[in-house]
Amino acid sequence: MKSTVEQLSPTRVRIIVEVPFDELKPNFDRAYRKLAQQVKIPGFRPGKAPARVLENRLGRGVVLDEVVNEAIQTKYSEAVSTEEVRPLSRPDIEVTQIEDGVSLAFTAEVDVRPEFTLPDPAGIEVTVDAVEVTDDDVTEQLDGLRIRFGTLTDVDRPAANDDYVVINLSATVDSQEVPEADTTGLSYQIGSGGLLEGIDEALTGLSAGESATFTATLVAGKFVDREADVLAAVTAVKHRELPEADDEFAQLASEFDTLEELTADLRDRVGKAKRGLQATQARDKVLDELLERTEIPLPDSVLGAEVDVRQHDAIHAFDHDEERFVQWLAEQGKSRAEFDASAREEAERSVKTQLLLDAVADAEKVVVSDVELTQQIIAQAQRYELPPQEFLQQAQQSGQLGVVYADVRRGKALVTAVRLATVTDEAGNAVDLTEFLGEPDAGPGAETVEPDAEPGAETAEAGEIEAGDDTETSDEIEAGDSTAAAGQAAAPEPEPTAAVEARA
């Protein structure tokens, strides 16, 4: 077989393949066996008719069609491997020559992973917020615990801010009752907001047995966005009594014996939470810097598929009713054209992010252990409320294991980039993110998932920082490199699709 590659654009190539007929003998043998099983020929048992008889019965053209269809698949894959092409889409095949007994020639145009210059993550410097745990931070956490362990007591007085009231609600729009607005025995804290506009003002000052009517805009149901007259009837007023913050409370609310121990633990927890936000900020800023410094040509088919998925997912929430979707956009102050432009912008960033992280994974030799892959599968199975084995089986059947692998590898690539970058806080102090990034991989000795392996499961996070939403697309750039948590595994190579595929 002879193959050559013609570069059509930075993201698309034409592979030219020529196969001598003598290399197609295995394909002819399989074609004869397949056709012999499918065709009943008098005098021969199923599958036993010789090639000459099959050709006389079916015609040489039928045999050639079977051979060519199979050969194109296998020879295309061979050419991709030989020429080190990294496809990102299904190929557009054109048979250019079938000369019986001489040769088969065809071309395959396909989108490929673009070449681009990757900035050195070690040259990136980002600044994050400084971590400071104040007494007010600790008091806020302690008060939150006290509220959780507080008790509600009936009071015989008008309701005030922060009181709890038990209410019955009903509403009318232009004198028409709104059945879905009827509510009985609802417990509501005055001042908490988020229920109906105007309700806090209406309830303040009411005692048990009293009611008030106010006007509010309904947020759901048949009369959504219509103004309604809402009747709120108070059946009880309750005040939350908080326990004293003392050693007895510490023993009730925690594993600690003293309030001093409890507050020290709360201070540690607040500090860790703020350091976690610091790590997330570092992750996002490093990714933004990498994207800002990198020019990446985007394959049309991959970008188009990502835009389509985002548009499909958006309108799916409206049962694919375009009119309802456009109406909803108008209520948000947007046009369909503005939504489409936004979807394309988000898709461009998402695809660019994945291609970028794939390149980081390649450059830094990121690997994914099968333990990490297994952890990711378990996590995904829990997300979809499926047993891990069932999720794995479905992923294998749908060809989505490459996506899972890609997620893990890209996530680890991002963690690697953050680890290499220089991160300081606003005061100029170096920030140690090891607590969240984890230690670097053990190296070549670590057990990893090989390209042709059958991964038994999912991904893990690199430490606790994941790649983030920018790395997630519809079917994800299903590339042999990936995002989501950490590492580099080469999952079973999927067939080319319109998404960026896994190519180890």
Is 439 a member of any domain? yes
Q: Of the given ranges (61-70, 156-165, 402-411, 477-486), which has the lowest mean pLDDT?
A: 477-486
Average pLDDT over residues 246-262: 96
Number of domains in the chain: 3
Percent of all residues in the chain with a pLDDT value above 70, rounded to a whole number: 83
Average pLDDT over residues 318-329: 90
Is 172 a member of any domain? yes
Which residues are registered as beta bridge partners of 233?
168, 211
Higher pLDDT, 450 or 60: 60
Is 286 a member of any domain? no
Q: What's the CATH number where 465 sits?
A: 1.10.3120
Q: Which residue has the tokens 């012999």?
A: 36
Q: What's the CATH number where 163 sits?
A: 3.10.50.40
pLDDT of residue 51: 65
Average pLDDT over residues 253-269: 97
Q: How far is CA 322 from CA 326, 327, 333, 360, in A?
A: 6, 9, 16, 40
433 lies in which domain range? 296-471
> Model-level pTM greater than 0.75?
no
Are residues 403 and 458 in contact, defined by beta-carbon separation less than 8 angstroms?
Answer: no
Are 307 and 366 in a shared domain?
Answer: yes
Are 414 and 310 in a shared domain?
Answer: yes
455 pLDDT exceeds 70? Answer: no
Average pLDDT over residues 227-252: 96
Is 107 a member of any domain? yes
Question: Averaging pLDDT over each range in 63-67, 132-136, 224-228, which range is the top one?
Answer: 132-136
pLDDT of residue 57: 67
Are 228 and 170 in a shared domain?
Answer: yes
Are 301 and 444 in a shared domain?
Answer: yes
Are residues 107 and 94 in contact, defined by beta-carbon separation less than 8 angstroms?
Answer: yes
pLDDT of residue 55: 63
Average pLDDT over residues 269-286: 96
Q: Is 19 helix (H, G, I), strand (E, B) or coil?
A: strand
Q: Which of 226, 241, 256 is the last residue of a domain?
A: 241
Is 491 a member of any domain? no
Distance from C-alpha of 48 to C-alpha of 76, rounded to nearest angstrom = 31
Is 370 a member of any domain? yes
Are 315 and 382 in a shared domain?
Answer: yes
448 pLDDT exceeds 60? Answer: no
Write out the DSSP string of 189-239. ETT--SS-TTHHHHHTT--TT-EEEEEEE--SSTTTT-EEEEEEEEEEEEE
pLDDT of residue 9: 95
Q: What is the band of 65 on the pLDDT scale with cuts at 50, 70, 90?
A: confident
pLDDT of residue 213: 96
Are 319 and 232 in a shared domain?
Answer: no
Are 21 and 99 in a shared domain?
Answer: yes
Average pLDDT over residues 255-275: 97
pLDDT of residue 181: 87
Q: Which of 225, 241, 257 is the last residue of a domain?
A: 241
pLDDT of residue 460: 29
Are 228 and 302 in a shared domain?
Answer: no
Higher pLDDT, 386 or 469: 386
Q: What is the band of 248 on the pLDDT scale with cuts at 50, 70, 90?
A: very high
pLDDT of residue 504: 31
Q: What's the CATH number where 55 sits?
A: 3.30.70.1050
Average pLDDT over residues 112-118: 94
The per-residue pLDDT of the chain, averaged, comes to 85
Spatial CA neighbour of 120 closest among 294, 238, 259, 331: 294
Are 173 and 67 in a shared domain?
Answer: no
Quick: pLDDT tens for 290-316. 999 999 999 999 999 999 999 999 999
Q: What is the band of 54 on the pLDDT scale with cuts at 50, 70, 90?
A: low
Are 90 and 201 in a shared domain?
Answer: no
Is 137 a member of any domain? no
339 pLDDT exceeds 90? Answer: yes
Pairing of strands 176-177, 164-173: antiparallel
Is 355 a member of any domain? yes
Average pLDDT over residues 356-378: 95
Q: Which of 241, 256, 272 is the last residue of a domain?
A: 241
Q: Maximum Cα–Cα distance for the chain, whole Å?
A: 102
472 pLDDT exceeds 50? Answer: no
477 pLDDT exceeds 80? Answer: no
Are 300 and 415 in a shared domain?
Answer: yes
pLDDT of residue 239: 95
Are 204 and 81 in a shared domain?
Answer: no
